[in-house]
Amino acid sequence: MPDPVVTVHDFTKRYGDFTAVDDISFEVHQGEVFALLGPNGAGKTTTLECLEGLRKPDGGVLSVMGVDPTREPRRLRNLIGVQLQTSGMPDNITVREAMNLFSAYHRVAPRLDLLDRVGLDGKLSTQYEALSAGQKRRLQLALAVAHNPPVVILDEPTAGLDVQSRVELHSLISELQGQGVTIILSSHDMAEVEKLANRIAILLHGRIVAAGSPRELTTHGAGLTKISIQTERATVSELTTLPGVTQRSARDGYDIYYSTDPAATVLTLLEHVKKYGDTLIDLRVERPSLEERFLEITGGKEAIS
Ligand code: ATP
């Protein structure tokens, strides 16, 4: 396997006595989308900011294409593109001026095509403060990638965006990945991460508590299958024990079971429906979602929106 593009090895960051990131390690390879997930305060932004050279680690080694972000900030700046959580953009700068400024900083021609690509071609003379939240995020992403950086770091790239804007940004991120760009992002949006990321690290209290592809993360863990059933007379609710079932709940007219032996559970449920002359309305057998797995790993420390 070729050398990783980004290496984080035994990385620790403290704020005073408080350890925000506690000895974490991960590697990201070229063309991968790597996601950091975790509840508020888990250490995601701190990790990204150290990779961006904005903060100095207290321990460990960070490297972006062989460059130490704190020691060699000048070399780093053309290697990475950064879309920050808060932009720090002057309120009265126009979209065109912002692109000119960022392009001049990186010594590349202004990328009006990118503004077009993110749907801001009609807003070139609009001041930053007059852009909607979604338009600001799109502009920030366009500015982050205007100099064609091989690595892009995105801190909650679609936070607060409507569905349409989110889908558009997802397609832009996938397009960048298709061009071989390596992307590291943090997000609270499980569907987004499940869709975009090749690999995920779940952070909790500054430590990586689980890592792997979305599929690996959802198939490991308790190994439970979710079975949801709805019948006309809800006779299955009477069943007190079911083979393989370790947890049960009810929601929106469904009885929901988490089972280690889904075939036996489903068979017993269907036999019961038949025996009592009930009618099956819906039956779903699903692998737990990333969201459910995340809640299992983090102990439900976050209400996911
Ligand atoms: P969120 O999802 O809310 O953005 P996060 O996972 O990005 O959270 P960080 O912003 O990295 O978390 O913060 C990690 C921890 O470090 C938090 O407990 C936070 O309060 C603390 N922290 C972050 N920045 C500072 C700072 N400048 N000074 C002191 N503590 C800080």
Protein residues with CB under 6 Å of any ligand 1 atom: 15, 18, 20, 38, 40-46
- Give me the pLDDT at residue 221, please: 63
Q: Is 250 exposed, middle or buried (0-12, 13-18, 19+ CB in 10 A)?
A: exposed
pTM for this entry: 0.82
Pocket of ligand 1, candidates 46, 55, 189: which has the most ligand atoms within 8 Å of its Cβ, to mutate?
A: 46
> What pLDDT is stored for residue 258 in this prediction?
86
User: Whole-angstrom Cα distance, residue 87 to residue 264?
Assistant: 54
> What is the distance in A from the centroid of ligand 1 to the CA of 21?
9
Distance, in Å, from the CA atom of 151 to the CA atom of 155, rounded to the nearest integer, reads 13
Q: What are the residue boundaries of the structural domains of the chain, listed by start? A: 6-218, 225-287
Determine the atom of ligand 1 nearest the C-alpha atom of 156.
4
DSSP 3-state assignment of 257? strand
Asked, colleague to colleague, whether 6-218 and 225-287 share their fold, the answer is no
**CA neighbours within 13 Å on the CB side: how many for 64?**
29
Q: Do the beta carbons of residue 57 and residue 39 sit within 8 Å?
A: no
Q: How many angstroms does the Cα of residue 247 sit away from the middle of ligand 1?
A: 34
pLDDT value for 93: 93
**Cα 110 to middle of ligand 1, angstroms:** 34
Whether the per-residue pLDDT at 126 is higher than 60: the answer is yes
What percentage of residues in the chain have a pLDDT greater than 90?
A: 65
Asked whether the beta carbons of 136 and 85 are under 8 A apart, the reply is no
Q: What is the CATH number of domain 225-287?
A: 3.30.70
Mean pLDDT of 123-140: 91
Q: How far is the CA of 43 from the centre of ligand 1 (A)?
A: 6
Q: Give the distance (Å) from ligand 1 centre to CA of residue 44.
A: 8
What is the CATH code of the structural domain delimited by 6-218?
Answer: 3.40.50.300
pLDDT tens digits for 198-215?
Answer: 999 999 999 999 999 988
Confidence of residue 86 (pLDDT cuts 50, 70, 90): low
Atom number, ligand 1, closest to the C-alpha of residue 49: 11
Tell me the mean pLDDT in the region 243-257. 90
Alpha helices in 23-63 (DSSP H): 44-51
Atom of ligand 1 nearest to the CA of 85: 4
For residues 168-174, give the mean pLDDT.
Answer: 90
CA distance 166 to 134: 8
pLDDT over 50 (residue 302): no
Residue among 199, 194, 272 nearest 233 (CA): 272
| Beta pairing, strands 245-251 & 151-155 | unpaired
Cα–Cα distance, 173 to 142 (Å, whole number): 11
